[in-house]
Chains A and B, each alone.
Chain A
Amino acid sequence: MKRNAARGTTATMAPILEERKSSIMTADGCGGAGIACDKVSVSGSVSQRACAYCGARVVLNPITNACHIIHGPIGCSSYTWDIRGSLTSGEDLFRHSFCTDMRETDIIFGGEKKLIASIDEAVEALHPKVIFVYATCIVGIIGDDVHQVCADAEERHGIRVIPVQAPGFSGTKSTGYRLGGQAIMDLIGSNPFPRERAHGVNILGDFNLAGETWIVKGYCAHLGIDVVTGITGDASVEGLMRAPEAKVNVVQCAGSMSALAETMETELDIPFIKVSFYGIEDTTSSLVRMAEALGDERVVRATRDFCSEETRKLEPLIARYTPLLAGKRAAIYVGGGFKAISLIRQFREFGIETVMVGTQTGRPEDYDVIRSLVNPGCVILDDANPAELERFMVEKGADILVGGVKERPLAYKLGVAFCDHNHERKHPLAGYVGVRNFAEEINSSMNSPVWRYV
C-alpha cells in the first residue's frame, strides 16, 4: 500500500469547537484580524500543552549544579525527571529528581515542616550550591509560606534557596517561562556590571538539547566571540552569576526567554537581539547580527567569511537532498513561534512547502511573521489538539510533521513522517551541522523503507 494512506480518507473527523475557532486561521496573503493566542486551553479539550509549572521547570532544569526540589505530591517531580535531554559538561546534579512527596497529612497540617526537612536533607546528602524550590498547584492553597521557608534555609545553610511559585493553574507554559526567568534574576541579582568592561554574549533560550549550545559556543570560539554563559543550556551556577558581564544577550528561543531578556535589559543594561540557529538562512543572519551587535568590524568580517564558507560546504548536501525532498508538504507543531518561523524557512531551503503550522505558546507578532512567510491556504493554529492536528494534516496532505513526544505516534498512525524538534531530538538540529542532521532525519523518516509495508 502506498504510504499516506490517510490522504483522501474520510475518517470520522471531530468537528472544531466553537471556542477554538478564533485560534485557527488560514493564511490568505493579506492582512486582517490576528489569531487568538496565549489563552488557557478550553475545558474538555485534549490540549497538547503543559502548565506554568512545566514552563518554569524546563527553563531552569538545565542549570547543571542546581538542586531542583519540587514541593508537592510526587507526580510533578516524576514527570520532569531528566526528561529534557539537556547535556552537561559539568556536574549532573540536575539529572536527579527531588520531591517533598506531600502526603495527605501534609495537606491537612501544612507542608512547611516537610519542606524544611527536605531542604536540610538535600544539603546534607548532596551539598548543592543553589536550591530551587518549586511550589506546585496545592502549596499556595494550603497556605505554605514557601518564601519564608526559603529565606530561613538560606540563612541556615549559607546557600541560595530560591522559591519558584509556579502552580500549574496560574497559566500556560508561557507564564512558567516568565516565572523561571524571575528565578534566574533572583539568582544573578540586579547589580549592573560596568558597561565599559562588558564583554561577549550570553546565549539565552538554548537548553543544550543534544549539545546544541556547544555548537553555537564552538562557532563563537572560532570567531573570537566570548560566551559568558548559556541561559540555561549547560549553565553552572557560577557561570550564571557572571551573566551581568555580557555586552549583548542573544535570545534563541524567544518564546521562553523574551521576558527575561527584557528584564535584563532594564535592570542590567544588557541589550538583546533575537536569533535563531535553525536552518542556513537563520544561522547565518543570527551569527552576523551577533557579531555586529558586539561592534568589532574584524569579527563581523570573519563571521561573514565563516558563514559563506559553511554555507558553501552545505551546497552538496542541499543538492543531494533537494531532489528527494522537493515538493513534499510539511506540518509544524512546536512550542514557540520563533522555532516555527525558522522551520518554515528551513523547509523552503529543500523545496518543501509548509501547509500547517501551529505553536503552543506563539505570540501575536510571531503569528504575523508566520503569515507573511507561508503560502496562501496554509493553516495556522494556536494550542492545537490532536483532532485538529489530524484534521489539517490529512486535509492538507502533509508528508511530515515536526513536533514533540505526544505528536510522534499521532503522525505515524496517520502515515505521516515525523521529526522530533523538542526534548527528544536525536541529534543537534542547530547551526550548520544541524542542517545536515535535519536533512538526514526528515529524509530518513519520509523515505524509510518501512512505509512500503504500511
Chain B
Amino acid sequence: MLDLTPRDGVAQRHALVINPAKTCQPVGAVYAALGVHRCMPHSHGSQGCVAFHRMYLTRHFKEPAMASTSAFTEGASVFGGGANLKTAIRNVFDLYDPDVMAIHTTCLSETIGDDLHSYLSDIEVPEGKHVIYCSTPSYVGSHIWGFASMTEGFVKQAAQKSGVATGRLALFPGFVNPGDMREYKRLMGQFGIRYTMLPDTSGVFDAPMTGTFELYPKGGTRFEDIVRLGDAAHSIALGEAASERPASQLQRDHRVSSEVMGLPIGVVATDVFVSALSRFSGEPVPYAIEEERGQVVDIMLDAQQYFKSRRVAIYGDPDTVLGIASLCLELGMVPSMMVTGSPMPTFQARASALLDGYGLADQCWAQDKADLFELHQRIIQGPVDLLVGGTHGKQIARAEDIPFVRAGFPIMDRYVHSYMPLVGYRGAMRLIELMSNALMDRQDRDCSDEDFEMVM
C-alpha cells in the first residue's frame, strides 16, 4: 500500500494536491443546514454535487442525509440557473414541505455568475416558509469554511433583534459530531444555562431507529430560536475556523458580545470553555464537572508513562487538529506533525503558541493547505509513534505500520464514533482511551515474550 511514495525526501509541489486533507465548501454547508430543524439543504449546481455530499455525510454518520439540487443542464450553465432555482423552490416546498430551505452555491453557479440574492427577490416563497442562502464557491476555503458560510447565512438573514432580551447564550459549536454537540448541551445544562446552539445536528445525524423514516428528524436548531439570536445575551464560538464568522456576524448585526475560543478538546481548552460558561451563568463550576476534570487528570497521571515523548502526527480539520494537539501536549507527547488541508491563515501561529508552552516549537511541523501525500513523505523522513485523524490516513498507517486512532472528519470505516464526544472532559477521557489502547496494543503485539506483561 502506497509503496509508490518516494522514500528519498519531501518533494516540493506548488500546483498538484495529492491525497487531500479537505474537501469543498458545499458539503460543510449541507452539514450545517441539516442541523436546523425541518430544513432542506439545497445545492444550486449540477446534480452530481449533492449526490457526492449526501454520500460523504452518509458514509461518516451512517445516517440518511437529505438535500435537493437545482440539477443544472448545459442550458442552465449557459443562460444561468435562475429558472432551475425557481422550479426547485416550488418543487421542494410542494414535495418535501420543509420549514426552511437553505440554499448554497457551487463552483458552477458561482463561475457563471448566478446571483442568488437577485434571483430570490423575484421568487415567491410560500407563506410561513423561509429561504436562507449563502455563497459557497468550491474554489474558496474548504468544507470548514462552507460550514461557517451557511451558519453565518442563517445569522445574517434570520436573526433579528426585538429588544426583548432572551438571556440566552448563543453557542456556535464548530464542525463537530452530534456526540460533541450533546456534550456541550450536557455541560451547559449543568450550569442551568439557556442557550441556542446553531447548528445542532444531535437528534438528526444520530437519530434513533424507530421503524419509521423521518424526513425531518426530531433534532436541529428551531428556526424561531435562530430568529431570536439577535436578542441573545452573549455568544461563544468554539473553533476559530468554523465558528468565528457567525459569531462576528451576530456581533456586527445585533451587538451580541462574543468570545472565540478553540474547540474544547483536552483539559486546558475545556477549562477555558467551562470557565466561560461559569462566567456567563454567574454560577461556580458544579461539583459534577469538577469531578470529571479530576478524573481525567487522574487518568492522565496513571497513563503518562505510555505517552511520554511519543511522537504523534495529527491531520484533519484545523480546529480539531489544534484541539487534539493540545491534549497530546498535556499528555507529554510531541505533536511532531500537524496538518490541515483547509486554508487557515492563523494555523501556524496557533500551533506555535501551543508548542511554545512546552518548549517544542522547533521540533514540530505545522502546516495548513497541506496534503496527506506530503504528510506521508515527512513521516517516512521522521517516523512517528502514533497517527491521529480521519479515515484517509489509514493508507499511511498501513504503509508505515503506525498505530492509528480515528478522530475527526470523515471517518468512513468505523462505527459509533459520531455518537461519542471528543470535546469536554468526557471527550478527553475517550481520546486518552483510544490513544493509549492503540499504543499499548502495539506494545503487546511487538514486544518479545519475556517483555509481554499481564499487568500494564
> What residues of chain A have their CB less than 8 Å away from a CB belonging to chain B?
1, 3-6, 9, 11, 14-15, 17, 19, 40-54, 69, 72-83, 91-93, 95-104, 106-107, 113-115, 117-118, 120-122, 124-126, 136-138, 141-142, 167-170, 172, 386-387, 390, 405-406, 408-410, 412-415, 454
B20 engages A101 (CB within 8 Å): yes
Nearest opposing residue in chain A for B75, CB measure: A169
Chain A proximity mask over B1-30: 1 for CB below 8 Å, otherwise 0: 111101000010111111110111011000
Q: Which of B3, B45, B67, B95 contacts A17 (CB 8 A)?
A: B95
Residues of B within 8 A of A136 (CB): 107
- Measured as residues with beta carbon below 8 angstroms from the partner, the interface class of chain B is 35 or more
- How far, in angstroms, from A79 to B52 measured CA to CA in the complex? 6
**Using Cβ atoms and an 8 Å threshold, which residues of chain B touch A79?**
23, 52-53, 55-56
Q: Which residues of chain B (66-114) have a CB below 8 Å from chain A?
A: 66-74, 76-77, 84-85, 87-92, 94-97, 106-108, 111-112
**Which interface residue of B14, B72, B84 has the most chain A CB atoms within 10 A?**
B72
Q: Which of B204-212, B284-292, B303-311, B429-437 binds A?
A: B204-212
B217 to chain A, nearest CB (A): 9
Closest to A5 in B: B211
Measured CA separation A136–B45 after assembly (Å): 12
Closest to B87 in A: A43
B23's partner among A4, A74, A138 (CB-CB below 8 A) is: A74
The 9 closest A-B pairs by CB, nearest first: A51-B48, A5-B211, A44-B91, A75-B24, A168-B46, A117-B15, A44-B88, A73-B138, A78-B23
**With A46-B66, A92-B1 as contacts: A77 and B209 at CB distance below 8 Å:** no
Q: Are A72 and B107 closer than 8 Å at their CB atoms?
A: yes
Find chain A residues with CB under 8 A from B77 CB.
Answer: 137, 141, 167, 169
Distance to closest chain B CB from A93 (angstroms): 6
Would you mind naming 18 contact pairs between A and B with Cβ atoms under 8 Å apart? A1-B211, A4-B211, A43-B88, A45-B68, A45-B95, A53-B48, A54-B48, A75-B52, A75-B138, A78-B56, A79-B53, A100-B16, A103-B140, A141-B111, A387-B96, A409-B58, A409-B62, A413-B212
Q: Is B395 close to A, CB under 8 A?
A: yes
Flag whether B452 is at the interface (Cβ < 8 A).
Answer: no
Residues from chain A with a CB closer than 8 A to the CB of B341 are: 74
Q: Known: A1-B211, A137-B106. Contact between A69 and B16, CB under 8 A?
A: yes
A413→B64 contact, CB < 8 A:
yes
When the two chains form their complex, are residues B94 and A15 in contact, meaning their CB atoms are under 8 A apart?
A: yes
With beta carbons under 8 angstroms apart, the residue of B14, B26, B69, B97 that contacts A117 is B14
Nearest CB on B from A161, distance (A): 14
What CA separation (Å) do A245 and B332 show in the bound complex?
62
Contacts of B74 in A (CB 8 A): 169-170
In Å, the complex CA distance between A97 and B56 comes to: 15
- B214 in contact (CB, < 8 A): yes
Contacts of A102 in B (CB 8 A): 107, 139
A81→B26 contact, CB < 8 A? no
Give, as a whole number of angstroms, the nearest-CB distance from A420 to chain B: 12
Known: A74-B20, A125-B13. A406 touches B58 (CB 8 A): yes
Q: Which of A3, A17, A74, A93 contacts B94 (CB 8 A)?
A: A17
Residue contact B64 to A409, C-beta cutoff 8 Å: yes
Q: How far is the CA of A325 from the CA of B96 in the complex (A)?
A: 35
Least CB distance, A63 to chain B, in whole angstroms:
15
B213 A78 Cβ-Cβ under 8 A: no
Q: Are A137 and B107 also in contact (CB < 8 A) when A5-B211, A73-B138, A169-B74 are?
A: yes
Q: How far is the CA of A98 from the CA of B17 in the complex (A)?
A: 6
Asked if B392 lies at the interface with its beta carbon under 8 angstroms from chain A, I say: yes
Give Cα A138–Cα B16 distance, bound, in whole angstroms.
18
